[in-house]
C-alpha cells in the first residue's frame, strides 16, 4: 500500500528505529526493494532522486513507483529525493509522489527557508509530506576526514529556527556522512554528540543522507540514537556489480537477475543491521 511518510517516521522516532530509503532507477530495482521489504515484513521508503532524471524521467519514475507501491502488502512511501528546484518538486507531487525532499541546503539560510516553506504549503495541501536539509552533506570524493570535506555540520539553533519557520515534516541533518564512496578510508567519524543535541531539540524525525559505506555500527547507533530514516544508494550499485562479477552472466536476462540478487542481498543486510 502506498502512504506518505508522516506516521511511519513519527512511529520510528517514538520507537527509536529507522526506515530504509533506497533510490530506485528502474522497474527492476523498485520491485527488488519492495519485494525484499515484503519478505522482511518491514515498511520502506522508495526513493527517486532528481539527479537520476537522465536515467528515467520523472513521470516514468512516478508510474513505476506507484505501480510497485500500490500492489505491496507493506507500507511504501513514494519519495522524491534531493529535489533541487521548485517546479520539479511540484511536478513530482502532481505525478503521485507521496513525499518530497527539497534540497536547498547550499543556498543561504533565508533562501532555504523561503523555498522550503513554499514547498511545504503546496505539498501539505495535497496530503504530501516534506523533507528538507539544513547543514550540507557533501560528497565522499571530497572527504578525507570529518574536518576536511565539503560537508557543513548542522547547527542546532539554526535547525530549530528552520523547523519553526517552515513547518517541514522531517529534516535531513549533517553529522559527518557524505554521498558516494569515501576517499581513502573505510568509514567516517560521525558526530553523535551533535546528533543527540539535534534529536533532543527537534520534535520532528531526523534523516541521514550518505548512509552507504558509513559502517554498520555507525548506522545502527544512528538508528538507536535519533535518526529515523537512512538513505542508501551507492551500496546497492556496488552490490549489483559485485554479484554480476561473481556470477559472470552470459546474457542480458541473467545479468539483470544477478544485479537484482545483489541489490536484494544488500537490503537484507541492512534490515539485519537496523532490526537486531
Computed from CA positions of residues 10, 11, 14, 17, in that sequence, does the dihedral angle turn out positive or negative?
A: negative
Only one residue has cell 552533506, namely 137
Query: Region 126-149: what's the mean pLDDT?
Result: 67
Supply the mean pLDDT for the chain.
Answer: 90
Active site residue 81: yes
Q: Which of 23, 81, 103, 169 is catalytic?
A: 81
Q: Residue 213: what pLDDT?
A: 67
DSSP for the chain reads -EE-SHHHHHHHHHHT--EEEEBP-SHHHHHHHHHHHHHHT--EEEEEEGGGGGTS-HHHHHHHHHHHHHT-SS-EEEEEEEE-SHHHHHHHHHHT-SEEEE--TTS-HHHHHHHHHHHHHHHHTTT-EEEEEESB--BGGG-SBTTBSS-BPPPHHHHHHHHHHH--SEEEE-SS--BS--TT-SSPPP-HHHHHHHHHH-SS-EEE---TTS-HHHHHHHHHTTEEEEEE-HHHHHHHHHHHHHH--SSHHHHHHHHHHHHHHHHHHHHHHH--
Q: Residue 73: what pLDDT?
A: 96
Domain ranges of the chain: 2-239
User: In angstroms, how far is CA 58 from the centroid of its own chain?
Assistant: 17
Q: According to the CATH classification, is domain 2-239 in 3.20.20.70?
A: yes
- Does pLDDT of 199 surpass 50? yes
Q: Residue 93: what pLDDT?
A: 98
- Band of residue 142 on the pLDDT scale cut at 50, 70, 90: very low
- Band of residue 150 on the pLDDT scale cut at 50, 70, 90: very low
pLDDT in tens, 33-85: 999 999 999 999 999 999 999 999 999 999 999 999 999 999 999 999 999 99
pLDDT in tens, 219-257: 899 889 999 999 999 899 999 999 999 999 999 999 999
- Band of residue 26 on the pLDDT scale cut at 50, 70, 90: very high
Q: Which of 85-89, 175-179, 226-230 comes out lowest in average pLDDT?
A: 175-179
For the chain, how many residues are written? Answer: 276
Q: Residue 80: what pLDDT?
A: 98
Q: Residue 191: what pLDDT?
A: 86
Global pTM? 0.89
Amino acid at each position: 500500500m502506498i502512504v506518505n511518510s508522516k506516521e511511519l517516521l513519527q512511529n520510528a522516532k517514538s520507537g527509536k528505529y529507522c526506515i530504509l530509503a533506497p533510490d530506485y532507477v528502474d522497474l527492476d530495482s523498485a520491485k527488488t526493494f519492495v519485494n525484499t521489504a515484503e519478505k522482511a515484513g518491514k515498511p520502506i521508503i522508495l526513493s527517486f532522486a532528481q539527479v537520476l532524471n537522465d536515467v528515467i524521467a520523472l513521470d516514468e519514475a512516478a508510474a513505476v513507483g506507484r505501480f510497485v507501491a500500490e500492489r505491496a502488502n507493506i507500507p511504501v512511501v513514494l519519495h522524491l529525493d534531493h529535489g533541487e528546484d521548485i517546479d520539479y518538486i511540484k511536478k513530482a507531487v502532481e505525478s503521485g509522489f507521496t513525499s518530497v525532499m527539497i534540497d536547498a541546503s547550499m543556498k543561504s539560510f533565508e533562501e532555504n527557508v523561503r523555498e522550503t516553506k513554499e514547498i511545504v504549503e503546496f505539498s501539505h495541501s495535497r496530503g504530501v509530506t516534506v523533507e528538507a536539509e539544513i547543514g550540507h552533506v557533501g560528497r565522499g570524493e571530497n572527504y578525507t576526514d570529518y574536518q576536511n570535506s565539503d560537508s557543513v555540520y548542522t547547527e542546532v539553533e539554526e535547525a530549530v529556527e528552520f523547523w519553526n519557520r517552515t513547518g517541514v515534516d522531517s529534516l535531513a541533518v549533517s553529522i559527518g556522512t557524505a554521498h558516494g564512496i569515501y576517499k581513502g578510508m573505510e568509514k567516517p567519524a560521525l558526530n553523535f554528540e551533535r546528533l543527540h543535541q539535534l534529536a533532543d531539540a527537534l520534535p520532528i524525525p531526523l534523516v541521514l543522507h550518505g548512509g552507504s559505506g558509513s559502517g554498520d555500527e555507525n548506522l545502527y547507533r544512528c538508528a538507536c540514537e535519533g535518526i529515523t530514516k537512512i538513505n542508501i544508494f551507492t551500496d546497492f550499485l556496488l552490490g549489483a556489480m559485485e554479484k554480476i562479477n561473481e556470477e559472470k552472466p552470459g546474457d542480458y536476462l541473467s545479468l539483470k537477475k544477478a544485479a537484482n540478487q545483489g541489490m536484494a542481498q544488500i537490503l537484507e543486510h541492512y534490515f539485519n543491521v537496523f532490526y537486531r
